[in-house]
């Protein structure tokens, strides 16, 4: 059932280099995953400045990256966010720029947009693009993409009602679950979408993201995800963090989860550089666990922080520091 299983570079705050992206692609391939959605919030030429082209140097790097991914059988998709209805001409040009270089998969994203234009405007853009490029694949991200957002205010509720009534049942769209950052992924996380075919509800999984919760780091062996639910999807992508070492750990955990957890959680953590002394505290990074730390445990974390030398520790440092300050 799953056609596209992989990751999305769809976070705020960091913009990876193409060398870092190649490392992600290699890790995806190693763990039998197949999809990389390029949709960083910090690339203005995909969002607020969609009417401006990337530079020639950028496209040269992108083409090299795309060729590398294709050699490893990783499909690269592009996420485009037209922030207003007048962007349609620029959007078509942008799609042409990428299709000329071999991209065939696009997501039209209306998440987190500042300008408030209606669902009908968004749907008209989506339909026009689909009609203009009938041989390409397109999916859609609505402005209301979780249950949490439906309940935000009357504007979001009305938008969602229009979406339910008007979005074509044959098309795929993204959903993040009960919340923007959901800690439970099973059939219950999409109960509000019973009008749609389950396989057309693509999951954008924000469990590991850090951009909207800068003091928290979520880590688990995908224990929050119902594997049966996963296998009913045509598309499932995990949003990364922009921390290269940590992101490769996430992909390793994802691939191993899909393969049946043949490797232990601890062995994967150790392989990626986690200090063995910290394994007893790793549960602190599971949002479902509530743990009160004693002074001696905080002292132990403090000692680990200053005697563990590894690039992964450098990425985790702010979160380790936050742990030892827990009350």
Spatial separation of the C-alpha atoms in residues 214 and 225, rounded to whole Å: 23
173 and 287 co-located in one domain? no
Q: Would you state the pLDDT for residue 327?
A: 47
Same domain, 128 and 218: yes
Same-domain check for residues 223 and 92:
yes
Choosing from 245, 265, 285, the residue where a domain stops is: 265
**Model-level pTM?**
0.95
Strand partners, 204: 237
Choose among 211, 243, 224: nearest CA to 317: 243
pLDDT at 214: 67
Residues of the chain short of pLDDT 70, as ranges, are 1, 85-86, 114-116, 214, 291, 324-327
Mark whether 292 and 319 lie in a shared domain. yes
pLDDT at res. 322:
85
- 314 and 233 co-located in one domain: no
* CB crowding 254-271: b at 16 or more within 10 Å, else e: bbbbbeeeebebeebbee
Q: Return the SS3 of 145.
A: coil
Same domain, 77 and 193: yes
Same domain? 149 vs 292: no
| pLDDT number for residue 216 | 84
Q: What is the total count of domains within the chain? A: 2
Please tell me whether residues 165 and 291 are part of one structural domain.
Answer: no
**pLDDT-above-70 percentage for the chain:** 96
The average confidence (pLDDT) of the chain is 93
Say if residue 236 is in the same domain as residue 284: no
154 and 300 in a single domain? The answer is: no
Beta pairing partners, 36: 7, 76
CA 183 to chain CA centroid, Å, is 14
Check residue 301 and give its pLDDT.
92
Distance CA 254, CA 48 (A): 32
Q: Which residues contact 89 (CB under 8 A, 6 or more apart)?
A: none
Which residues are bridge partners to 202 per DSSP?
174
Q: Which domain range does residue 319 map to?
A: 273-323
- 78, 103 in Cβ contact below 8 A? yes
- Residue 2: what pLDDT? 82
User: 151: domain CATH number?
Assistant: 3.20.20.80
State whether 159 and 281 are in the same domain.
Answer: no
pLDDT of residue 179: 95
Is there a single domain that holds both residue 16 and residue 155?
Answer: yes
């Amino acid at each position: 059932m799953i056609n596209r299983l992989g990751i999305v570079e769809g976070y705020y705050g960091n913009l990876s280099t193409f060398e870092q992206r190649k490392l992600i692609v290699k890790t995806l391939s190693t763990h039998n995953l197949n999809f990389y959605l390029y949709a960083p919030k910090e690339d203005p030429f995909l969002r607020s400045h969609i009417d401006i082209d990337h530079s020639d140097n950028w496209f040269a790097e992108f083409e090299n990256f795309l060729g590398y991914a294709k050699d490893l059988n990783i499909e690269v998709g592009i996420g485009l966010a037209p922030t207003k209805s007048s962007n349609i001409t620029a959007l078509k040009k942008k799609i042409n720029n990428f299709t000329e270089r071999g991209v065939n998969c696009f997501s039209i994203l209306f998440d987190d947009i500042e300008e408030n234009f209606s669902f009908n405007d968004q749907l008209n853009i989506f339909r026009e693009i689909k009609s203009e490029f009938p041989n390409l694949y397109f999916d859609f991200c609505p402005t209301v993409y979780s249950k949490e957002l439906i309940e935000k205010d009357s504007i979001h509720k009305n938008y969602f009602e229009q979406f339910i009534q008007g979005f074509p049942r044959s098309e795929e769209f993204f959903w993040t679950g009960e919340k923007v950052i959901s800690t439970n992924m099973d059939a219950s996380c999409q109960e509000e979408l019973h009008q749609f075919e389950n396989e057309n509800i693509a999951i954008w999984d924000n469990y590991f993201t850090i951009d909207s919760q800068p003091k928290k780091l979520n880590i688990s062996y995908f224990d929050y995800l119902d594997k049966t639910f996963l296998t009913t999807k045509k598309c499932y992508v995990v949003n990364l963090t922009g921390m290269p070492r940590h992101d490769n750990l996430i992909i390793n955990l994802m691939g191993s989860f899909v393969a049946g957890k043949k490797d232990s959680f601890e062995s994967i953590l150790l392989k990626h550089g986690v200090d063995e002394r910290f394994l007893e505290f790793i549960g602190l990074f599971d949002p479902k666990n509530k743990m009160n730390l004693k002074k001696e445990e905080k002292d132990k974390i403090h000692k680990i922080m200053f005697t563990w030398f590894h690039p992964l520790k450098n990425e985790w440092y702010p979160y380790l520091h936050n742990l030892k300050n827990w009350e």
